Structure 1
Amino acid sequence: MFRPCLRPSFSWASFRRYTSTEGPAPRVCVVGSGPAGFYTAQHLLNHGPPQLRVDLLERLPVPFGLVRFGVAPDHPEVKNVDHTFTKIAKNPRVQFYGNLHVGVDVKVRELRQLYDIVILSYGAAQDRKLGVPGEELSNVISARSFVGFYNGLPEDAALAMNLDVEDAAVIGIGNVALDVARVLLTPIDTLRQTDITDAALAQLSQSRIKRVFVIGRRGPLQVSFTIKELREMVNLEGCSAVFNPDDFRPFQSVAPLLKRPRKRLTELMLKTALTPPTEKQLKLWGPAPPKSWELRLLRSPLAILGSDSSVSGVQLGVNRLDGPNLTEDQAVVSTGEVETLECGLVLKSIGYKSVKVEEGIPFDEQRGVIPNVNGKVPDEPGLYCSGWLATGPKGVIVDTMNESYRVGAQILEDLKLDHISVQANRTEELRTLLDQRQVKVVNFVDWEKIDETEKLWGASKGKPREKITEVQSLISVVKKP
């Protein structure tokens, strides 16, 4: 674990204040209650001064961010991290303020006056654009919105899409791309046993999709998905995997030289592309698989074809890898060839970016991040950021955890070195301000009531939970006696 180092400016007086239970209690505000927010708070609580207090602010009435709204419904084991987050939230030094929209109900500049430390951890909520003709056609859907739809994100609860088509294209080769492809192809009876929303089940039960094409601009050594997601896709019930052997043969010689986990991932792709299906796969797929998915690499979308009422296909530019050696660093260049792939649904999965919370907060519009050094915002004393807002969207939850711990370590170092001015008598200033503005917040006890209600509703349907997908309905549960 990273430990703060001592610098020449260190004083024993500040160290004693830091480790003592006496003196002003550092007040910390974390904006965003997803993994980054919780892990940053956890590090501060575990390693900071014992009198430190943390307030977690969340725009929605429910906590946990991408753990609730981003993890695929058939991955319940990944969601178990919410047990850790619950323990953090129930720490007597933590307060949860849900249904509080920072930038609207309260400004960041006001929070900086109310708290000694403000950490912005509100994630990445905007899609990156393909920038090709036809991108605005109906049935061209953001993968982020589709994930939000089947996971019960209120803003995506009414997502409009047409699944009365046989072919779908997913543009992107990350884990989210494979998640949405898998959900489109998974047998409906399997999905019924998950916490997928009723609205998504209703649409998917009427789906006619038989083939999903997963399209990537780069080559086999540059895919962004991980072996776990690929293994699930090549062992999907009633659905065969189709790989073009010519895309993979050149990589047989370099696969043994790769580092883990890239080596294991590449070996699985080679096995899928170049060897017959295993007995397990043949049993899962069946003698005549009703569905299939195909990985199409070295293809760049040039245009989405169709009319205002429907998508008819995707025009793809064919690429090649440039460079003498087959490595992850090879450049991708166009061959000038063009292909047309027929499909009736397009899902864009080329990445997310964060948005500026309000004017006056440093923000890199191009990268979609707050400029920072180890989470510390330069020239803004007491202001920090963590998670995708600090690093850009990358990695899995464990990566977010490690990055958030580093931000927490930086904050604790700044506290020890008196780089943060800790003021007394800040205890209930935010609550007073919200009461004056008649902002009705949801606390963690309220969330536990919502949690219990969702689980009861889910149990009646044989599901882990039935998510409530409207903000007002969530609030109504809290208001019930």
Structure 2
Amino acid sequence: MRHIAIIGSGPAGYYSAEAAQKKYGDDVQVDIIDRLPVPFGLIRTGVAPDHQSIKAVSRRYEKTALTDNVRFVGNITVGEDVSVEELQGLYDAVILATGAPNDRTLDIKGGDLDGVIGSAAFVGWYNGHPDFADLDPPLDGKSVAIIGNGNVALDVARIIAKTESEFSGSDIVAHALDKLKQSNVEKISLLGRRGPHQIAMTPKELGELGHLDRARPVIDMRDFPEEGDDAMLEPGMRKSVTHLRSFFTRAGELREKPVTIDFDFYAMPVAIEGDGKVEKLIIEKTELDKDMRSIGTGQRYELDCSMVISCIGYRTPPIEGVPYEHGRGRFANVDGRILPGLYCVGWARRGPSGTIGTNKPDGFAIIETVADDIGSGDNREGRMGLDRLLDRRNVEAVTFRDWKKIEEAEIANARDGAPREKFTDVADMIAARSN
């Protein structure tokens, strides 16, 4: 019997567990350990609440979770309740699938002012992550700046711009919906250091901006190359740029909508100013060098705003005793191998890149690597040993059966038209499993 521990219950974790099942059949036991009492990681707290079709992938993970040889072990903090070293002594392989939940630092003057918020915090706030439930984003001002030209920046802009009725069918949490209903924001600026041909926005997410009830995208065609140059782009990117061009051609049709989502290309934030809180963003215009890198031109302008949301990427949090690449914000590894018996997968391995689906081949590949290394296993204690250790420390894990009770309570608490009302407090989650 092989014993595998996976730390992290998001897509990379569950795809790795599924791969282990397919590789070994009944000759494997997999424990998926998570800090929270609820599974699915990024699917629950990262994917936008109005993208329920994407969140539906959790049903695939549930099929894996409900099998006898895969177990969810929630409410366990690795590094506090149990160490990586202890897990290595209990399991043939320990796979870190912790994702990259921490924001990269916005390293500019004024980046620590009140009103500067990382996207992980803001997305976690409207998605009900317990770590960010108490966030109080300043939506009372008329202008908000979002730094970044990827899908996360689009999600944040769209969520701020939507009306209450547009959240029908979503699982946005009540505290965020109530706050957004009171928003005074009229201008949302999306700032990117490079141009339209260098965005990391996918067509579906861009297309949604053209169909919002009260908000309209604003494009300055002076930022664009000749339309014929679009032919050089790969098909998905070409479609995204076509959406951007269409926002300009539809300007007359969209003009009556009061909220604007302004695309500011070739814009590099260099400082944030304000008396204890965000009041303005200082931006330097950029241009591209021959290698398509952005360089400052020295020309600066100011953008009045009450909040700056930084969507510039994520980092995997370090774990004591695990080699780490600080420059890349991920665990130090070679093809997923960190140390003998210790591996990483997904964003924890490659950094925050790719889609949810990218984690499937990554998960299957790491299990092949594990199989090459551990052979038939080493007669480890596995989950029995973990249970004894947690029992000695009076640490009570949350099981997948417990999670299903929590989920039932969230569904029962849902407002009209919503699939659930998430618990945003760990103690409430724990209490719900007993009801």
TM-score clears 0.5: yes
**Residue number in structure 2 paired with 1:98:** 74
**Residue number in structure 2 paired with 1:336:** 298
Question: Are positions 1:448 and 2:415 aligned together?
Answer: no
Q: How does 1:98-117 map to 2 (within 5 A)?
A: 98-117=74-93
Q: Distance in 1 between matches of 2:250 and 2:98?
A: 46
Q: Distance in 1 between matches of 2:429 and 2:351?
A: 30
Determine which of 352, 360, 377 is the counterpart of 1:401. 360
Does the 8 Å CA contact 1:215/1:297 hold for their aligned counterparts?
Answer: yes
Determine which of 324, 333, 337 is the counterpart of 1:372. 333
**Residue number in structure 2 paired with 1:84:** 60
Question: Are positions 1:468 and 2:423 aligned together?
Answer: yes
Question: Are positions 1:183 and 2:159 aligned together?
Answer: yes
Question: Are positions 1:383 and 2:342 aligned together?
Answer: yes
**Residue number in structure 1 paired with 2:170:** 194
**Residue number in structure 1 paired with 2:312:** 350
Determine which of 258, 268, 272 is the counterpart of 1:290. 258
Alignment coverage as a number of residue pairs: 435
Does the 8 Å CA contact 2:91/2:380 hold for their aligned counterparts?
Answer: no
Partner SS for 1:266? helix
Deviation, 1:461, is 3.1
Report the TM-score, using the length of structure 1 for normalisation: 0.88
Deviation, 1:424, is 5.1
Question: Are positions 1:478 and 2:433 aligned together?
Answer: yes
**Residue number in structure 2 paired with 1:433:** 389
Question: Are positions 1:300 and 2:261 aligned together?
Answer: no
Does the 8 Å CA contact 1:239/1:293 hold for their aligned counterparts?
Answer: yes
Q: Distance in 2 between matches of 1:75 and 1:184?
A: 15
Does the 8 Å CA contact 1:374/1:406 hold for their aligned counterparts?
Answer: no
Change (3 A) 1:191 1:439: same
Q: Which one-letter code corresponds to 1:371 in the other structure?
A: A
Partner SS for 1:295? strand
Q: Deviations for 1:4-56, whole angstroms, at most 9, x for unmatched residues?
A: xxxxxxxxxxxxxxxxxxxxx00000000000100111111112353111001
Q: Distance in 2 between matches of 1:470 and 1:432?
A: 28
Q: Distance in 2 between matches of 1:100 and 1:179?
A: 30
Q: Which one-letter code corresponds to 1:474 in the other structure?
A: M
**Residue number in structure 2 paired with 1:319:** 286
Q: Deviations for 1:372-414, whole angstroms, at most 9, x for unmatched residues?
A: 222122xx22111001110100121011222222212222233
Deviation, 1:425, is 4.9
Deviation, 1:316, is 0.3
Q: CA RMSD in A?
A: 1.5
Deviation, 1:99, is 0.3
Partner SS for 1:62? coil
Deviation, 1:90, is 0.5
Deviation, 1:229, is 0.9
Q: Which one-letter code corresponds to 1:356 in the other structure?
A: P
Deviation, 1:189, is 1.8
Structure 1: state its 5+ residue gaps: 1-24, 324-328
**Residue number in structure 1 paired with 2:51:** 75
Structure 1 window deviating more from structure 2 (27-36 vs 182-191): it is 182-191
Does the 8 Å CA contact 2:31/2:383 hold for their aligned counterparts?
Answer: no
Deviation, 1:151, is 0.5
Q: Which one-letter code corresponds to 2:205 in the other structure?
A: E
Change (3 A) 1:298 1:106: same
**Residue number in structure 1 paired with 2:200:** 224
Does the 8 Å CA contact 2:4/2:28 hold for their aligned counterparts?
Answer: yes
Q: Which one-letter code corresponds to 1:349 in the other structure?
A: C
Q: Distance in 2 between matches of 1:204 and 1:268?
A: 27
Does the 8 Å CA contact 1:151/1:196 hold for their aligned counterparts?
Answer: yes
Does the 8 Å CA contact 2:91/2:381 hold for their aligned counterparts?
Answer: no
Q: Distance in 1 between matches of 2:168 and 2:241?
A: 32
Deviation, 1:257, is 2.4
Change (3 A) 1:196 1:343: same
Structure 2: state its 5+ residue gaps: none
Deviation, 1:422, is 2.1
Does the 8 Å CA contact 1:48/1:412 hold for their aligned counterparts?
Answer: no
Q: Which one-letter code corresponds to 1:382 in the other structure?
A: G
Change (3 A) 1:424 1:166: closer
Determine which of 231, 234, 247 is the counterpart of 1:259. 234
Partner SS for 1:341? strand
Q: Deviations for 1:51-110, whole angstroms, at most 9, x for unmatched residues?
A: 111001010000000000001011000000110011111111111110000110000000
**Residue number in structure 2 paired with 1:142:** 118
Q: Quick check: which has more Rg, 1 or 2?
A: 1
Q: Distance in 2 between matches of 1:357 and 1:340?
A: 40
Q: Which one-letter code corresponds to 1:352 in the other structure?
A: Y
Deviation, 1:166, is 0.8
**Residue number in structure 2 paired with 1:411:** 370
Q: Distance in 2 between matches of 1:266 and 1:413?
A: 44
Does the 8 Å CA contact 1:125/1:354 hold for their aligned counterparts?
Answer: yes
